[in-house]
Structure 1
């Protein structure tokens, strides 16, 4: 092989041909350094004939410079990269970049220098050194990483090294992880669990592709059941990938995994330090990481010998990436399993309608756990009609829910209040002139956060201190908070139960796996009486003393015209309801609603999941919506509103006229301004047989746009804002 075609990690360049120097060995998947003009760039050698390109004469080829010391990307991963780029209309280079997600790992192993506190007596300290000492207790990392943790500059820490407060430690970046023991603490399974576990183990041992839908009610022991398949894969010398939708769930899962297998799995998520990512990536690639638990990005790690994929809480919309390569990790996980020829388990108490339909069609094998483990009963769900039972003026909890909260407190039991709205209030206005605080970068109101005394945009992150006066009319003490967020509900709880220990659980408070672990430990050991939280508390947590769940606003998810609103509302409320009564004590769920007659609310109240899914299925079928039809969105954006509008009109003006494709728009997006960019959308609804990706390519590829215009395509969209 004296020439090769390489995929350069630049989406604008496309494949390039290079000469392989004498004595250099490369093969498809090799990660190489190649010359590009005066620069050196990273590239991946690709299979002959699989990338389009013009054949360059041998005499004009420039030689590759080096091969990086990592295993080549395996053929199944290369096929997955090709499929993902093709299906989601993404540049191939952008998908490859997700597989090469740790640049430090590609440079090889070796020793790295990290730092830790020495424990020496500090003497006189500056404020910054005091802060660093407090925040770095138990931490070990590079100077730059420690500076981020401590919230100080690199120079402060280097000064602490000189003062003997920090010491250098040499660490092997390729040191192996402890190996999980499949026989460490084998659980006693119920007959139903044991039957399903045996089925999963058999397919793992056969090492063949088989998608499973593990459909079990909350508290049925799905994790314990599929853990037997994990044990079988470990015994067979294979690796396992477990995908979780939220980083906040990772620490809870790590603890349960360690109790079962004797050591924690390898974690992979955005909160890892770069040294941790480097070690994890290399151990995955060389086979030393036996079980990896991570967020959706873990799906593209270069496993040496993958034997099983688990997608936990597989219905979660967090598996859909909303920028960059807009892929759905649930669906891509099934495709990776297909290319690897291994089983994949989609586990959920409230499966996505698409997954249920695949099971109905025989494409997935459905495994059902209909009962809670250990004889625990599903909670009673009751409606609180806010039209007839109104909360006190200025309050948000109806008398029935208040009485139930007081009763649980008197019995020493835990309660959970669910409201999927962060902060104190979604809107702040001036009672004198009516001024409303709006984000300057987005078409969104600023949300008041009283805990941090800030007004924040939840779309772009813009923050300002809460002012003392109205910026419009200058009046003092005139600002009014409109509507409730979880912080406001927590304040109301402090009035109802002044002595109760209340925890606010949102992405603002559980900002790291460590903080999530601290919350779980407190809640499990009786350190919290009432949990007030957003969707973070709807899944994955098991608190035996939690017997009451109150849904503050069961109607909120039905607003806004989301095409999956009913299904999403059902899943979210069913999941949070499943937190109640998971131990020996019975659970109760109270749904506050102004629309008790809505089909989704009625289905939740009577516990008739099958009837809800049947009705939703027919509604989707008649609308040609997924899984019976296809959706795609085209999002046009620019910092210049006129430029975005004209580009969107140009796309709309060249739309194809096809019988099996309906194209809506262009119109301003519901969130018409996002992060300083004006946005227009087109929505495409097509029959499943339409060849949607081909239609979109042929439509969009001939069009040219100004440099400031971005055109993004979202296949199978979940967000419509």
Structure 2
């Protein structure tokens, strides 16, 4: 029997089947010995070749499934993805399973805890718990229906509130075996909003399509894309179909869950890395058997099986988070389109700033193209202002004109959002006397100063050390931070505006579970006048009282070596600007820059992202860069520079000469040394996707036979999005 194993080796392994074990079906999990370990693998069927003479084959230990663990659609999708991204099939198949199934657990529900109101608890009214809002919220939910442990976590109800209600005798718990409800019916918890003409056309176009296809829903920020999602979902749910909604990051999942639960009284589950292994398996099972009407998840949820999938939605389709950057390097956006084609369901790609790949497909007619050019409701278009900060004094990156604008908005009771994509207190620690800079010993990077923790941290390899009191070179105590991070900006804002509270949202301030959702809720409710954050604040959040948004330092992206940097800056600027003036108040976005004359800035401010993107797409076509050519990136890292270079040179020599194929490199990565390893890259560029696949199928199997590649860690990335 051929068995695919979760190891970084491309061929499947041959095992013999003992007489006392029934023949497993293709796609069933099996337990096999592998070296000194026991692994869970996937049966691929009987071997095509006869056993070689003189070789002792190991035997399959047990068969874990009676049938293929995936529906046929997912089985075919994973096989296609492993082939397209040139990844070992066994590892790809295991990536498409919940963790517990990878470890050999049974694919069924287990006993869990259920919480319900006692007689005394049922007699309570929400107003009886006015002084305990968390308990009040949980009580209201339990009055609707009993909650399982996973429901408590999914709704992010405080564990202290649950314990308090139990201690008072108002809530009891019992052990139950989850039984999925398969006969759910669509009920609307709120009435749909009145659509404007553009929204109505978008919904009608998708509903009336004779043949399902991908659609690009391109709408300016605040144009009501979510309402289009909801009304498209209504038709699918009314017919008993299921909906898969993908979001780029965990931070958007609770917000999306709450919005959908307000509209639809149907079973909704989440799938992301913040859940426990059991919660993820239960949600996966709910989707597979049809008990879940809506599944909201991050990129790995694209492999979730469904009983009756009717619609796939990708929110913020341009976001780079949909691309897996290590291991199985797939792109969930592209797999969603492929899955929609295989299962004949529409795929809705929503964004205000479409990726150039998606825009090119829409422009060529391969995708439907729906546009929302006006903000929904009474929201007005945002005003744009560019501040030239050359020769201006700055306080933690804030210019005097910007401080005055902030003061005016705060006096009127509005909120101000400041975007700075650099966490920590300062970007580096410098000696004022000799110029020494605290550098990470393992990377070509400087330590970031985290003053609140009293630490220097490397944001690339994770190395930490205490902030020194003296310079390592001259012994001076005149050490100071260089550059500005969100932590320093927060302190300066508290000094400049002492009557207004400041909320900082970045990876450091949201480490604890549930903290991000809590802070976003506080920002939405205008509990803090000043919001400071990194890219976590730029993605799809709705802050109705934010009227001024300022980007403090994005000049570095204007002169990046990455050909995608202009596209990314355009998306970032537009997304951050979209947080302003989303309700009835006029919004203003301010861009501080040392280069106000730069053509990219002028194009974005004066013409908007759409015009900028079409111009950039034309430039890409003229220079034959993606999406008008197709790239593969080989990476190699080693403790010695020469070994990494030699490995890539050997790989490059395997490629044949062809007029439509170009091999560039080896080239050092943007950060050549990281975590003690030297990193180099080899870029293979093809004019046609089919040619690239043929060449890779010929070359990749030969790489394992190169002795030099055993001295390095190498990987390949098909359609790379990140060259750092």
**TM-score, normalising length from structure 2?**
0.85
1:80 aligns with 2:86: no
- Alignment match, 1:198: 204
Deviation of 1:307 after TM superposition, in Å, equals: 2.0
Question: Do the aligned partners of residues 651 and 492 (structure 1) sit closer, same or farther apart at CA in structure 2, a change above 3 Å counting?
Answer: same
Deviation of 1:290 after TM superposition, in Å, equals: 2.1
Question: Do the aligned partners of residues 42 and 599 (structure 1) sit closer, same or farther apart at CA in structure 2, a change above 3 Å counting?
Answer: same
- Alignment match, 2:608: 608
- The residue correspondences of 1:372-383 to structure 2 (distance < 5 A) are 372-383=375-386
- The residue correspondences of 1:494-505 to structure 2 (distance < 5 A) are 494-505=494-505
Question: Do the aligned partners of residues 447 and 114 (structure 1) sit closer, same or farther apart at CA in structure 2, a change above 3 Å counting?
Answer: farther
Deviation of 1:589 after TM superposition, in Å, equals: 0.8
Question: Do the aligned partners of residues 597 and 53 (structure 1) sit closer, same or farther apart at CA in structure 2, a change above 3 Å counting?
Answer: farther
Residue number among 313, 316, 323 corresponding to 2:316 in the alignment: 313
- Alignment match, 1:355: 358
Inter-partner Cα distance in structure 2 for 1:551 and 1:335: 37
1:623 aligns with 2:623: yes
Inter-partner Cα distance in structure 2 for 1:473 and 1:174: 70
- Alignment match, 1:419: 420
- Alignment match, 1:7: 4
Question: Do the aligned partners of residues 580 and 649 (structure 1) sit closer, same or farther apart at CA in structure 2, a change above 3 Å counting?
Answer: same
Deviations 1:298-337 (A, max 9, x none): 1112333322111100001111111111111111111111
Question: Do the aligned partners of residues 276 and 99 (structure 1) sit closer, same or farther apart at CA in structure 2, a change above 3 Å counting?
Answer: same
- The residue correspondences of 1:309-708 to structure 2 (distance < 5 A) are 309-387=312-390, 390-392=392-394, 394-476=395-477, 478-511=478-511, 514-688=514-688, 691-703=691-703, 704=706, 705-708=708-711
Question: Do the aligned partners of residues 71 and 235 (structure 1) sit closer, same or farther apart at CA in structure 2, a change above 3 Å counting?
Answer: farther
Deviations 1:486-528 (A, max 9, x none): 2222222123211211111112223366212211221122201
Inter-partner Cα distance in structure 2 for 1:110 and 1:688: 46
Q: Does the CA-based 8 Å contact 1:214-1:368 persist in structure 2?
A: yes
Deviation of 1:716 after TM superposition, in Å, equals: 1.4
- Alignment match, 1:302: 305
Deviation of 1:666 after TM superposition, in Å, equals: 0.6
Q: Does the CA-based 8 Å contact 2:431-2:479 persist in structure 1?
A: yes
Aligned residue for 1:240, secondary structure, equals strand
Aligned residue for 1:667, secondary structure, equals strand
Aligned residue for 1:292, secondary structure, equals strand
Deviation of 1:262 after TM superposition, in Å, equals: 3.5
Question: Do the aligned partners of residues 270 and 440 (structure 1) sit closer, same or farther apart at CA in structure 2, a change above 3 Å counting?
Answer: farther
Question: Do the aligned partners of residues 354 and 605 (structure 1) sit closer, same or farther apart at CA in structure 2, a change above 3 Å counting?
Answer: same
Deviation of 1:281 after TM superposition, in Å, equals: 2.3
1:41 aligns with 2:39: yes
Aligned residue for 1:481, secondary structure, equals strand
Q: Does the CA-based 8 Å contact 2:182-2:290 persist in structure 1?
A: no
Q: Does the CA-based 8 Å contact 1:33-1:40 persist in structure 2?
A: yes
Residue number among 45, 49, 58 corresponding to 1:54 in the alignment: 49
Deviation of 1:236 after TM superposition, in Å, equals: 2.5
Question: Do the aligned partners of residues 677 and 402 (structure 1) sit closer, same or farther apart at CA in structure 2, a change above 3 Å counting?
Answer: same
Residue number among 93, 97, 103 corresponding to 1:96 in the alignment: 93
Q: Does the CA-based 8 Å contact 1:247-1:512 persist in structure 2?
A: no
Count of residue pairs the alignment pairs up? 669
Question: Do the aligned partners of residues 488 and 242 (structure 1) sit closer, same or farther apart at CA in structure 2, a change above 3 Å counting?
Answer: same
Aligned residue for 1:374, secondary structure, equals coil
Deviation of 1:23 after TM superposition, in Å, equals: 8.3
- The residue correspondences of 1:255-294 to structure 2 (distance < 5 A) are 255-262=258-265, 265-294=268-297
Q: Does the CA-based 8 Å contact 2:548-2:588 persist in structure 1?
A: yes
Q: Does the CA-based 8 Å contact 2:112-2:148 persist in structure 1?
A: no
Deviation of 1:10 after TM superposition, in Å, equals: 3.0
- Alignment match, 2:118: none
- The residue correspondences of 1:92-171 to structure 2 (distance < 5 A) are 92-103=89-100, 106-109=105-108, 111-112=110-111, 170-171=175-176
Question: Do the aligned partners of residues 413 and 86 (structure 1) sit closer, same or farther apart at CA in structure 2, a change above 3 Å counting?
Answer: same
Question: Do the aligned partners of residues 199 and 26 (structure 1) sit closer, same or farther apart at CA in structure 2, a change above 3 Å counting?
Answer: farther
Deviation of 1:643 after TM superposition, in Å, equals: 2.2
Inter-partner Cα distance in structure 1 for 2:381 and 2:105: 50
Q: Does the CA-based 8 Å contact 1:427-1:445 persist in structure 2?
A: yes
Question: Do the aligned partners of residues 38 and 480 (structure 1) sit closer, same or farther apart at CA in structure 2, a change above 3 Å counting?
Answer: closer
1:230 aligns with 2:225: no
Deviation of 1:434 after TM superposition, in Å, equals: 2.6
Q: Does the CA-based 8 Å contact 1:353-1:627 persist in structure 2?
A: yes
Question: Do the aligned partners of residues 303 and 17 (structure 1) sit closer, same or farther apart at CA in structure 2, a change above 3 Å counting?
Answer: farther
- Alignment match, 2:714: 711
Inter-partner Cα distance in structure 2 for 1:36 and 1:513: 37
**TM-score, normalising length from structure 1?**
0.86
Q: Does the CA-based 8 Å contact 1:141-1:275 persist in structure 2?
A: no
Aligned residue for 1:528, secondary structure, equals coil
Residue number among 19, 27, 30 corresponding to 1:29 in the alignment: 27
Aligned residue for 2:433, secondary structure, equals coil
Deviation of 1:14 after TM superposition, in Å, equals: 1.5
Aligned residue for 1:669, secondary structure, equals strand
Inter-partner Cα distance in structure 2 for 1:524 and 1:458: 29
Question: Do the aligned partners of residues 290 and 441 (structure 1) sit closer, same or farther apart at CA in structure 2, a change above 3 Å counting?
Answer: farther
Deviation of 1:713 after TM superposition, in Å, equals: 0.9
Greater shift in the superposed pair: 106-115 or 187-196: 106-115
Aligned residue for 2:377, secondary structure, equals helix
Deviation of 1:288 after TM superposition, in Å, equals: 1.9
Question: Do the aligned partners of residues 254 and 566 (structure 1) sit closer, same or farther apart at CA in structure 2, a change above 3 Å counting?
Answer: same
Question: Do the aligned partners of residues 278 and 69 (structure 1) sit closer, same or farther apart at CA in structure 2, a change above 3 Å counting?
Answer: farther
Inter-partner Cα distance in structure 2 for 1:395 and 1:10: 49
Inter-partner Cα distance in structure 1 for 2:322 and 2:312: 14
Inter-partner Cα distance in structure 2 for 1:15 and 1:75: 23
Inter-partner Cα distance in structure 2 for 1:448 and 1:379: 35
Unaligned runs of 5+ in 2: 116-137, 139-146, 159-171
Aligned residue for 1:103, secondary structure, equals helix
- Computed over aligned residues only, the root mean square deviation of the Cα atoms, in angstroms, reads 3.2
Deviation of 1:429 after TM superposition, in Å, equals: 1.7
Q: Does the CA-based 8 Å contact 1:580-1:587 persist in structure 2?
A: yes
Q: Does the CA-based 8 Å contact 1:635-1:682 persist in structure 2?
A: yes
Deviation of 1:460 after TM superposition, in Å, equals: 2.0
Unaligned runs of 5+ in 1: 117-137, 151-166
1:184 aligns with 2:183: no
Deviation of 1:215 after TM superposition, in Å, equals: 0.6
